[in-house]
Copies of this chain bind each other. A is one copy, B any other.
Amino acid sequence: MTLSPTARSTLGRKPDRAATDPAELYALLDEGLVCHVGFVRDGAPVVLPTAYGRAGRTLFLHGSTGAGWLRTAELPCSVAVTHLDGIVHARAVMNFSMNYRSAVVHGTAHLVTDPDRKWEGLRAIVEHLTPGAWDHARRPNRRELAATALFALDLTEASVKRRSGPPSDDAPDVAADLAWAGVVPLRTVRDAPQPAPDLPEHHTLPEHLGAAADRPR
C-alpha cells in the first residue's frame, strides 16, 4: 500500500518532498500532539486545533457533544499534523525555508457509536498524549462517555511531505558569498512535570511520566 492514491492528495509542487510509505505517515502522526482539522461550515472553511489519536490505519478525533463542529454523523475534513525541525537561512531571502515534516489527511470522519470502538478510540487519544496515562488515571464513566463524541477517519488518503538539510541557494549567490547560510534547529521539549496545587504530598512522579519528561518530542 502506498499513500496519495487520489489527485487531491498527490503533490503538485516539489514532488521530491513527498513520501509514500504509510509507516512514515504513522510515525509522523504518533510523534505529534495536536492536529489542525479543516472542515466546511455554512460554505466557508474553518480550521481548529484539536487532540487526536491513532490506532492502526484510523485517526481518532473527539470533543464534547456540545461542540458545534461535532454535531454531525459524517464530517468531510482535512487533518494536518506538522513538525517544525528548523529554520533554513539562505543567501537570498526568497530561498529561506523551513525544515519540517507534515502529514495531510483527506476524508470523511464518521461518528463512532459502537461502545467497544469508542472505548478504543478514546484510549488511543489519551495514550497519544502520554503513554501509560490510560492505565494510571480513572477511566471514563457512563456520563462522560455520553457527553463525548468520537470520530474515526481512515488514513488511506494522505500525503506526507518533508524538507531537511541545508539551504538550496542559487550558484551565483553561493559564489558571491553574500550572507550567512545554514539551519537553526527547532525542537519541542517537555520540562519537569508540575504537580497540581491540590495534589497530596505523598505522590511521587509515576513511572510513565518520568519517562515522558526525558523524552525529546
Contact = CB atoms under 8 A, between A and B. Distances in A.
Per CB-CB distance, the 9 closest pairs between chain A and chain B, nearest first, are: A38-B38, A38-B47, A36-B36, A49-B82, A166-B196, A185-B191, A92-B138, A38-B45, A181-B196
Interface residues of A, number: 92
A92 B47 contact: no
Interface of A: 8, 12-13, 33-34, 36-49, 51, 64, 66-68, 76-80, 82, 84, 87, 89-94, 96, 98, 100, 102, 104, 106, 122, 126, 129-130, 133-134, 136-140, 144, 148, 166-167, 169, 173-174, 177-200, 203, 205-206, 209, 212-213
22 contacts: A13-B64, A33-B87, A36-B82, A39-B45, A40-B44, A44-B76, A46-B106, A47-B80, A49-B80, A49-B102, A51-B98, A89-B137, A136-B179, A138-B173, A166-B196, A180-B203, A181-B199, A182-B193, A183-B196, A184-B193, A184-B209, A187-B189
Copies assembled: 2
Contacts of A92: 137-140, 144
Contact of A178 (B42, B87, B138, B196): B138
A184 B130 contact: yes
